[in-house]
Each structure stands twice: as structure tokens, then as C-alpha cells.
Amino acid sequence: MSIKVQQVDNWRWRIPREGNMRTDGLVFASAAMMAVLRHEQALEQVRNVATLPGIVGPSMAMPDIHWGYGFPIGGVAAFDADEGVVSPGGVGYDINCGVRLLRSDLHAAEVRPVLDQLADALFRNVPSGVGSHRRDLKLSLSETRKVLKLGAAWAVKQGFGAAADLDHIEAGGTIPGADPELVSDRALERGHDQLGTLGSGNHFLEIQQVEKIFDEAAAQALGLFPGQLTVSIHTGSRGLGYQVCDDSLRTMLRASQKYGITLADRQLCCAPLTSPEARDYLAAMAGAANFAFANRQLITAWVRESFGQVLGKGPADLGLGVIYDVCHNIAKWETHEVDGKMRRLCVHRKGATRAFPPGHPETPPAYRAIGQPVLIPGDMGRYSYVLIGTAGAMRETFGSTCHGAGRVLSRHAAMKQARGHDVVGELAKRGILVRAAGRATVAEEIPEAYKDVAEVVEVVEQAGLSRIVARLRPMAVIKG
């Protein structure tokens, strides 16, 4: 199907409403990005999302857009509380896949001589790869249900971190309304021994250095300085979240038929937000999201432990504090101004990040003067960015922005391109150490598999959705 696309300005492209669309599509991209996107299925997915009942505002996609299940990855859509729907395809399989950034009091230069030992310690202490688990942390199913209810607060209560960590996590590390009883036994079985693990695919643990500061005042508020060592954690809800999504799809297909919802794509199966099916999904999804928050909290504890082991320094000297922790795949109840009126909406962000502005009550007090931190990882060979949310995002995208670089090569294509290359050796020559559970993951995640994240963040900054604060350069990468 040929998708009509109209250029609005240098950074915005409209897919005009036609046929069974209930609203326009709106894609944030550069001209170069759109030249490629015109030949991909992701734009059709933006169009399809615009057909869903009760959608408020346009069906949107961020510049890291690429094809996904149902919604495009990079997709954002908001739905009216009374007339709208919730769709698991608008959240994704890896519920609350997200990023956490830790600051430190360390300079990258002082750590470089022991970087090998640090990488080894992190690879040893933080399990990675398919089916990975910590042998010394196996939860009963009843304890796992507590994790689903409490999120990161459960981990802190068990001694994995401090209460101050919770002040720097989206939603305080606990999505309200979780009901563990609505999570299947199969999901619990898959997740109970995976807490505190990275998993595989594009998930990673990365030691970084602050390479460049773009906004001095904001960087100071975030505790960032040039040459500083930081640590980034990118993972989600593991097998538990995958199973919650998988379980919900059958229910949602039946619900779509039950409530007479015509689907442009079966992968957009959904249920009215007022229905019991929607309430059950949101309660199970919240449980999986809380599992992901707890997962990143435990990994944070083991990062701190690993640094202490190698550097022989205590917590006060390391200063490994949480800057922020953001969700990428979530549907959340939020209040937004629409046409001059405040409305309660269910905002789907699928491979997109919340970007609330200065002064917003959900922005942590420490950052209320500058806006919510936005963490945008790139590929393992280039750089990542720290941004902050803006009033522009609140007006135009329900407080949303991009979430990463976005793939340009499938995993199969990336592996094919990596043949004959010593990817780990090539990265080592550039000063980037890699520890991975298998060569296949490294091949799938070659830098060439992703867009240049600098081009992605330029779009959202120029469009007024976020402001760039700092660029981070990888030093050591732990992969599944």
C-alpha cells in the first residue's frame, strides 16, 4: 500500500486522514530519514493505529521509528478514557523495557587502567544472555507476586539500594494498580529466576564517559561533568513481560470481536478501556512493568558491588547514584490538556520515552526546574545522549520523545554484514571493551545495525520535543 506523506516542516511529516482513519498520522523525521521510511512498512503501521477507536490527537511516530508488532516501534498514541481502547501491540512484548543511568564521582581516566577487571566483574555479577539467572537469587512464586506489586520498592526493602533511588525513577519505580493474580502461572514461572538479569538482544550494561556537555546548567542539576564515568542499564521485564503480552493477545482478539472493533491489522487487537478485558490487561501489564523496575534496581546493586570489588572503594567514594530510570514500552493513565480542557488519557508509548517539562508534578523535585531527564542510548560503537523534557513535547506529543537509535538492519541482515569481521576486536581498537554471552548477539548488534543516534536526537531537539544536555561515549559494554 502506498502511504501519502505530506511535509509539514523540516522535522514533521503528516499522513493525512483518509479511508477508515479517525485522525492524521504525524511522523517526526528528517528528510533523509523519510526518504528511507517511504519504502518501509512502519508508516503503514502509523496509519493503522489512526483507525483505532477513541484515539485523541494524531497517531505519532518518533525519528527512531521502525517496524514492530502492531504499533511501529517509536509509536505514540493517546486514547480517551471513555471511548478509547488499550492495545498490547501499543506496549510491546518487553513491557517496561527501559534505561537507567547512574552517575559517579569517578573520572573515566582513573578507571581506564582497571577497565578490563571492571568489565569482567560486571559480566560475572550481572547475568546476561537467553535464560540467564542469578544462582543466589531464586524467588518463590509468592515472593515474585510481591515484586509485581511493589516494583523497585521491593528491591530496596530487601536491601538492594536506598530509598533515595526511588526518587529518581519514573513513577517512583512502582506503577499503581498492579494485580499479580492476573499474571499467569506460566509468566511467573518464566520470570521468578530472571530477576536481576540483562537477558539478550539489544539489552546491555555499559560503562561510559561524559564526552561533551551541551547545557551546563542542566548538566549540573543532573550531576554530570566532562570526563565523568557513568553506567547505563538497558533491560526490561524479561520472560515474565513477554508472557504477559502473549497471554493478553488471545484475550484481546476475542475482545475486538466481542465489542465490534474492526481491525486494520490483527496485531492491533484491543479492548475498550471501560471493559473488564482492558482493566485486567492494564493490571497485569503494571505488574510486569514493576518487575522491570525491580530488575534494574537489582542490577544497580550488583553494579555498585562490582565497582567496590575492583576499585576497593566504598559507596561514599564511588557516588554511584541514580540519575533517572525511564520506561520505553508502557501504557499509562495520564492527564493532558486537549483543546483547552484537561482530559484523562491512556497514553501508549511503544519504543518511546516520556519527556515531561519543567514544573510538571511528576518530574522529580530535583529536576523540576529543568524538566524530566530523557535517556537515549545509541549503538555500542558510538554514543548515547542525555536530554530533558520540554513544554513543546507536552503540547504536541503528550509529553513524549524518542527512545533510542532505531534499527536499520534486521538481526539477520546485521549478522550477514558482520561475517568476516572481528567485531569485538574492532571495537577494542576504538577503546571499547565488549563482554558477551555469545558471538551471535554481538553480530546482531553491530553499530551499523542502527541509525546514528545523533541524527535522531537532532530531530527531537529541532522539533522542540527535548533538549540535549550531554553525550556519553561507551568504554565497556556487557551484552547477552
- Among this protein's residues, is 421 annotated catalytic? no
283 and 180 in contact (C-beta within 8 Å)?
A: no
C-alpha cell at 463: 522539533
Rounded CA separation 53/70 (Å): 15
Q: Which residues contact 393 (CB under 8 A, 6 or more apart)?
A: 355, 356, 357, 399, 400, 401, 464, 465, 466
In this structure, what are the phi and psi dihedrals at residue 156, rounded to the nearest 5 degrees? -65, -40
Of the residues 39, 66, 403, 412, only one is catalytic, namely 403
3-state helix, strand, coil in the chain (%, to 5): 40, 25, 35
Kindly report each contact of residues 106-110 with a partner whose C-beta sits within 8 Å and lies 24 or more positions away, as own/partner.
Answer: 106/228, 106/229, 106/311, 106/318, 106/319, 107/227, 107/228, 107/229, 108/209, 108/210, 108/227, 108/228, 108/229, 108/475, 109/227
In this structure, what are the phi and psi dihedrals at residue 443, rounded to the nearest 5 degrees? -65, -40
223 and 370 in contact (C-beta within 8 Å)?
A: no
H helices present in 312-438, as ranges? 315-318, 391-396, 411-418, 423-429
Active-site annotation, residues: 403
